[in-house]
Amino acid sequence: MRLHLLWTRLALASLCLSPSVPASAASVLIYGRGEDSKKLDPADVTDGESVKVAVNVFDTLITYAEESAELRPGLALKWEGSRDGLNWIFHLRPGVRFHDDTPFNAEAVLFTFQRLLDAENPYRFGGAFAYSPSYQMIESVRAVDDLTVEFRLKYPAVVFLPNLAMFPASIVSPEAVKRWSKDFFRQPVGTGPFIFQTWTPHEKLVLKANPGYWDGKPGVERLIFKPVKENTARALQLENGVIHLMDGIDFADVDRLKQAAGVIVQTAPGMNLAYLALNCETRPFDDARVRRAIAHAVHKPRILKLAYHGYGQAGVNPLPPTVWGYHAGIEDWPYDPARGRTLLQEAGLAAGFKSQLWAMPNPRPYMPQPKQVAQVIKEGLKEIGVQVEIVSYDWNQYLDRVANGEHPMCLLGWTTDNGDPDNFLYELLDRDKAVKGSANNVCFYRNDRLHELLVGAQREFDPEKRRQGYLQAQEIIHQDVPMIPLAYLPLVAAHSTRVKGFRLHPTGVLRLHRVRLEDE
Amino acid sequence: MRRMQHHFSGGVGLALVTGFFLSVLLAGAMSPQDPYRQEMEEQLLPPSWEHLLGTDDLGRDLLSRVLHGARISCLIALVSVNTALILGVPWGLACGYFGGRIDLLAMRLIDVLLAFPSILLAILIMAALGPSLSNVMVAVGLVHVPLYARQVRASVLVVRDLDFVAASRAAGATPVRVLARTILPNVLSPIIVLATLGTGTAILEAAGLSFLGLGGEPDIPEWGNMLTTTRQYVRTHPWVSLAPGFAITLTVLGFNLLGDHLRDALDPRTRGRL
């Protein structure tokens, strides 16, 4: 009884003491994710965690519709192309200012693209930009007047407009790039809905609302990106209200989270791919028979069951069926260790061999449990006499080393930037993208016939002919097995019931502009 | 009463340690399954007659993995305790016997090493060596060197000036002979106690390093490794973490109880009372 009284008094006292929280102070949205960003210079990033932040700080000339990969006006109000598709005029949005209060104009667009296209540009820091080849169709950019820009292309290219909607083409503040130079990746300045404030690596990254944003003031005052490595720890923080919104949910946890009070789980079909890359430059993976033997030893249903808890779909092609141009007619190499051993024998490796299998240290949207996937693959490879050691590095180091081609086999994945098949096939398997140090083609696969098809498709305006090109490309890839597609995953995010207006975008782009946070 | 308690806890320790060594010796024979075998249809099964400790997220039998884990832990303990002994004992002997400037310098170095929390020092060494199970063993061993050196030096200081040592010296024995034949046998009992207690600590610290992801490949059934790769299931499927967790706890408890008992049994001041 005494105890009860005491508790009541304490409760009353705390009620009196708790200050009334003003509504605006409450609108700090905390986003929990598996890793920290690597860099924040939109031209110089490839990893999803960096992109998540960049797309909220920067704008592109063209942007996506709210719920599809269709193109909409961004910093450009409208654009028109010449009949031959070689000249494009962009009319820029007037009255937009960068976060450092310098004006957005034709000069800024020029500056951005010169930096992106010219390897000798003095404002290009951190070596080659991985995405520059995606803009190589551009011959020159010219300012017609302060708010009009003309792009001249070397050849007509279908991917020109969709690629302008991708984050590498984000318009950067020329003044800020000049001022911060090498440190720009830590001090990003754009025109986007959020203004960069502070970044304490591995702890938090803080953005604040851009009150003068051209598309309306953001729904929250502040946005904090908080890395929480552990999937379950992150889920627990969401349930306890420490964070409000998160990605990277263990599929084993989805059902439980759906039941949790105050939590909403959202799923949407994704445009992503998880794969096992075989480094075609190193022995013995330079032999297609060895690569196919590996394909016969990878038990995809087992991977999906054990490491994805039954979510997702087994990978067949290097692009998911949600992207147009997917080849539905290709039959996957079946799990068949006997066939695998025969192929190794033909390649003169009857006794098998030793190798390394690299696995990401942390969950990725396309692969929530890389180490479990690696273990299942390792057991399968034993069946054909291939003994692998599972190797892992810190995420930044992992990306650098993989882009440098130091791996024999590695796990990796891809989330689309623009929903176009080019963004998977050209990005991940074209020889243009196999440049050591900035490679996205981490299979280091160089096939001239494939290159011809992919570049041809980039210049083909007839959608059906383009589709045919991609179908042929997928057949070549299927025969050559530079990579083993493992899975396509639905997108999953969870948020507190206080979060309103959040929708998963099929491209995986994280847009937090319209997200609001209701009072408790 | 006190004596009985001591005998009891010593007995429990001995039983636990015996159990540990039994699973080390008989892991192959006692394991119902290959500890690496993954079964697609047996993911995260709770304990049952078929799988006494249940299965993990990749459908592997946890009992088999825990039993094989004992072998790895035993190897870790052997290598790391021996590393610590081989480096620490001569160090302590030399410091205690010769004294003077060598002692001063060598012991200050030991003090510096002891100032670090042991797990931090081990992580530091691991950072230099790179993550792998064998490096974990070396790191844990190196971290323990100062403990042995200090203990041995203290014991040597006690016996150094006793008559039988002086006699041995007077008989013309070289310092090495004096240390090895006369002094070492007389400081052996604290070393045995320390090594027994150190075994438990070594297993615990190695598991800690593996838990931090420094223990090499994720499929190795090392207990710390098993904990770290399955800790996301703690709330939903607790048995996957309980199995390796209890294995670590019971083993370390066993070595600690046994070590305490040995200390009391070998301590000349308490020997008579036991």
Give the CATH number, domain containing residue B160. Answer: 1.10.3720.10
Candidates B37, B219, B229; nearest CB to A378:
B219
Which tokens in the block code for residue B27? 């892991």
Average pLDDT rounded to a whole number, residues A220-237: 92
Number of domains in chain B: 1
Q: Which residues of B touch A378 (CB under 8 A)?
A: 219
Which carries the bigger pLDDT value, residue A409 or residue A159? A409
Q: Which residues of B touch A305 (CB under 8 A)?
A: 40, 43
Using beta carbons and an 8 Å cutoff, which residues of A are at the interface with B?
230-232, 236, 250, 252-253, 256, 301-302, 305-307, 309, 359, 361, 371-372, 374-376, 378-379, 389-390, 392
Q: How far apart are CA A382 and CA A357, in angstroms?
A: 12
Q: Which residues of B touch A376 (CB under 8 A)?
A: 38, 58
Confidence of residue B29 (pLDDT cuts 50, 70, 90): confident
Confidence of residue A363 (pLDDT cuts 50, 70, 90): confident
Question: How far does the CA of residue B125 sit from the closest CA of chain A (Å)?
Answer: 17
Average pLDDT rounded to a whole number, residues A307-327: 94
* A28-33 vs A245-247, strand pairing mode: parallel
The phi, psi pair for A497, rounded to 5°, reads: -65, -15
Q: How far apart are CA B229 and CA B69, in angstroms?
A: 14
Question: How far does the CA of residue B134 sit from the closest CA of chain A (Å)?
Answer: 14
Confidence of residue A299 (pLDDT cuts 50, 70, 90): very high
Percent of chain B exceeding pLDDT 70 equals 96
pLDDT at B272 over 70: no
Using beta carbons and an 8 Å cutoff, which residues of B are at the interface with A?
36-38, 40, 43-44, 57-59, 131, 213, 217-219, 229, 231-236
CB contact under 8 A, B43 and A305: yes
Query: Which of A255, A369, A375 best tests the B interface by mutation, with the highest count of B CBs <10 A?
Result: A375
Model pLDDT, residue A139 = 95
Strand locations in A26-180, DSSP E?
Answer: 28-33, 62-64, 71-73, 76-81, 87-92, 138-145, 148-153
Q: Which residues of B touch A359 (CB under 8 A)?
A: 218
Average pLDDT rounded to a whole number, residues B229-236: 82
Lowest mean pLDDT segment, chosen from A122-136, A219-233, A429-443, B80-94: A122-136
Which carries the bigger pLDDT value, residue A99 or residue A252? A99
Q: What order do you get walking across the sheet with A148-153 strand by strand?
A: A76-81, A87-92, A148-153, A138-145
Model pLDDT, residue B2 = 58
CB contact under 8 A, B236 and A256: yes
* List of domains in chain A: 3-36+201-269+492-517 (3.40.190.10), 58-174 (3.90.76.10), 272-488 (3.10.105.10)
Model pLDDT, residue B231 = 81
Residue corresponding to tokens 């995010």: A493
pTM: 0.81
Could you report the per-residue pLDDT of A456-487, keeping only the tens digit for each?
999 888 889 999 999 999 999 999 999 999 99
pLDDT at B35 over 70: yes
Model pLDDT, residue A459 = 87
Model pLDDT, residue A23 = 42
**Residues in contact with B163: Cβ distance below 8 Å, sequence separation at least 6, in sequence order:** none
Question: How far does the CA of residue A495 sit from the closest CA of chain B (Å)?
Answer: 19
Model pLDDT, residue A7 = 44
Percent of chain A exceeding pLDDT 90 equals 78
Confidence of residue A365 (pLDDT cuts 50, 70, 90): confident
pLDDT at B261 over 80: yes
Could you report the per-residue pLDDT of A174-195, keeping only the tens digit for each?
999 999 999 999 999 999 999 9
CB contact under 8 A, A371 and B231: no
How far apart, in Å, are the Cα atoms of A1 and each of A6, A8, A9, A129?
9, 11, 12, 70
CB contact under 8 A, B213 and A305: no
pLDDT at B173 over 80: yes
Could you report the per-residue pLDDT of B49-72, keeping only the tens digit for each?
999 999 999 999 999 999 999 999
Size of interface A-B (CB pairs under 8 A): 58
Contact A208, A223 (CB under 8 A): yes
Model pLDDT, residue B4 = 62
pLDDT at A350 over 70: yes
Domain that holds residue B253: 4-273
Q: How far apart are CA A21 and CA A28, in angstroms?
A: 13
Average pLDDT rounded to a whole number, residues B67-92: 94
Residue of A nearest to B130 (CA): A393
User: What's the mean per-residue pLDDT of chain B?
Assistant: 90
CB contact under 8 A, B236 and A390: no
Average pLDDT rounded to a whole number, residues B155-182: 89
Confidence of residue A508 (pLDDT cuts 50, 70, 90): confident
Model pLDDT, residue A519 = 84
DSSP string, A263-300: EEEEEE---EEEEEEE-TTSTTTTSHHHHHHHHHH--H
Residue of B nearest to A371 (CA): B218
Q: How far apart are CA B1 and CA B170, in angstroms?
A: 47
CB count within 10 Å of CB A378 equals: 21
The DSSP H or E segment spanning A483 is strand A483-488
Could you report the per-residue pLDDT of B106-127, keeping only the tens digit for each?
999 999 988 988 889 999 999 8
pLDDT at A28 over 80: yes
CB contact under 8 A, A306 and B231: no
Model pLDDT, residue A25 = 47
Model pLDDT, residue A209 = 96
Q: Give residue B46's region: left, alpha or beta (phi > 0; psi -120 to 50).
A: beta
Lowest mean pLDDT segment, chosen from A81-85, A98-102, B2-6: B2-6
Question: How far does the CA of residue A15 sit from the closest CA of chain B (Å)?
Answer: 33
Q: Which residues of A touch B36 (CB under 8 A)?
A: 379
CB contact under 8 A, A306 and B218: no
